[in-house]
Amino acid sequence: MSAQVRLSLEGVTHRFGKVTALDSVNLAIEEGELVTLLGPSGCGKTTLLRIIAGFVLPTEGRVVVEGQDVTRVPPHKRPVNMVFQRAALFPHLDVRANIAFGLQVAGIRGAEADERIAEALRLVRLEGYEQRRAHELSGGQMQRVALARALVNRPRVLLLDEPLSALDLKIRLEMEVELRRLHRETGATFVYVTHDQREALALSDRIVVFNNGQIEQVGAPDEIYHEPASPFAARFVGDANVVAAKVVSIEGGSATVTVGSHRLAVPSGSDVPVGDAWLVLRPEVVRVSAAGSDGLPGTVLDAAFRGTGHSYRIAVDGIADPMKAEMAAEHGKPFAVGDTVFVQWASSACRLIPAGASSVADAPTVEGVAR
């Protein structure tokens, strides 16, 4: 069974004067999919949503919804609705009137309007709040009203621009559950923008990793997590150690690589040539053991208790950045700052990326991008 393409972006490029905000973006999104655009601040996420919604005419390229080129169709005539980065409710109107606003623009009144408003309130679980004003609502409730205002038009495509970024973590986690339910119940295609990778992993059918106005990788969350196409994608989706390595030889699916003065055997991807490469290691596959064991010698720089275990930063000879390791609680007595340790990993647990796949210098550390 092949799903219908509901939204496609064809060669979408947008320039603000000399700034290229989007550079030849090609993307097809299927009926009922929840796709997340993930990328650092300023990489073009909001600009792309505004182009899909019709608020911005792209410099080049086309927006196609259900087979129809809508590039030049005005926003209110597209089967698309947007929830903005900063949801502004009309303060002088109550919840009901805020939601009804979208319908008035579309010319829907009377019994049909009443029915649609009741449905939208039910979807966001705000029945009984019709008469409240914006200042009488919590942040999470305001965001629900903003969602209801978009859903009341029964859009085929719902665009959500960081709708949860202003909320605290506990409410955000609750709203994520609500968004997944809304997505199931409405059957709409959701295009969700965030720069919170945890949110992207939790919500998405597919994640589109953006960097500098270009698509860096598209894939299911687990695919991007386990097989990042570039150091940027590796560091942006989940935490990762990205280590400079040299591929010395490749034989039968296994590569011999050197990391500093250490020699290791690792599985080689089909596209990794002999020469410079990056070795990607998720912190949870890095094993730390006491002095005297095998592995690369290092010194503990930082140790933190994480509830389910401990996380460490370890200076390892021949590796430029401190290595991050996450150890489950059962690994025994935790290590302390200054301890000499040995760092190991299962060779099957790391991934080699050719050095050509974007510069590691472009890759922000997770601390630099997470909020």
Residues listed for the chain: 371
Question: Which 61-100 positions form the footprint of Mg ion (CB under 5 A)?
Answer: none
Min dist. Cβ of residue 223 to ligand ATP (A): 23
Instruction: Choose the contact partner of 29 out of ligand ATP, Mg ion, none; CB within 5 to 8 A by kind.
Output: none
* Contact letters for Mg ion, residues 40-59 (x by CB under 5 A): ------x-------------
Dihedral over alpha carbons 126, 31, 196, 302 (to 10 degrees): 120
Residue among 7, 27, 34, 43 that touches ligand ATP (CB under 6 A): 43
Residue 45 touches ligand ATP, criterion: CB under 6 A = yes
Terminal C-alpha separation, the chain: 39
Which residues have C-beta within 8 Å of that of residue 85, sequence separation ≥ 6?
46, 161, 162, 163, 165, 193
C-beta closer to ligand ATP: residue 59 or 344: 59
C-beta closer to ligand ATP: residue 86 or 135: 86
Residue 58 touches ligand ATP, criterion: CB under 6 A = no
Residue among 78, 96, 195, 351 that touches ligand ATP (CB under 6 A): 195
Measured distance CA(87)–CA(101) in Å, rounded: 14
Residue type for position 333:
K
Min dist. Cβ of residue 19 to ligand ATP (A): 5
Residue 197 touches ligand ATP, criterion: CB under 6 A = no
C-beta closer to ligand ATP: residue 19 or 337: 19
State residue 209 phi and psi, 5-degree precision. -90, 120
| List of long-range contacts for 87-92, beta carbons under 8 Å, 24+ apart | 87/142, 87/143, 87/145, 87/146, 87/163, 89/134, 89/142, 89/145, 89/146, 89/149, 90/134, 91/133, 91/134, 91/135, 92/133
Min dist. Cβ of residue 195 to Mg ion (A): 8
State residue 331 phi and psi, 5-degree precision. -75, 0
Tokens for 139, please give them.
């942040």
What is the total count of residues that contact ligand ATP (CB under 6 A)? 12
- Select the residue whose beta carbon is closest to Mg ion and give its number: 46
CA 267-268-270 angle, 5° bins: 140
Measured distance CA(225)–CA(149) in Å, rounded: 34
Question: Which 15-34 positions form the footprint of ligand ATP (CB under 6 A)?
Answer: 16, 19, 21
| 68 bridge partner residues | 65
Residue 163 touches ligand ATP, criterion: CB under 6 A = no
Instruction: Choose the contact partner of 195 out of ligand ATP, Mg ion, none; CB within 5 to 8 A by kind.
Output: ligand ATP
C-beta closer to Mg ion: residue 22 or 99: 22
Residue 116 touches ligand ATP, criterion: CB under 6 A = no
C-beta closer to ligand ATP: residue 63 or 281: 63
| 35 bridge partner residues | 191, 206
Helices (H), 158-255: 169-186, 197-203, 221-226, 231-236
Locus of tokens 């009804």: 100
Min dist. Cβ of residue 362 to Mg ion (A): 19
Q: Which of 85, 86, 116 lies closest to 101, judged by CA?
A: 116
Instruction: Choose the contact partner of 194 out of ligand ATP, Mg ion, none; CB within 5 to 8 A by kind.
Output: none
* Contact letters for ligand ATP, residues 268-297 (x by CB under 6 A): ------------------------------
Residue 8 touches ligand ATP, criterion: CB under 6 A = no
For Mg ion, the binding residues (CB under 5 A) are 46
For ligand ATP, the binding residues (CB under 6 A) are 16, 19, 21, 39, 41-47, 195
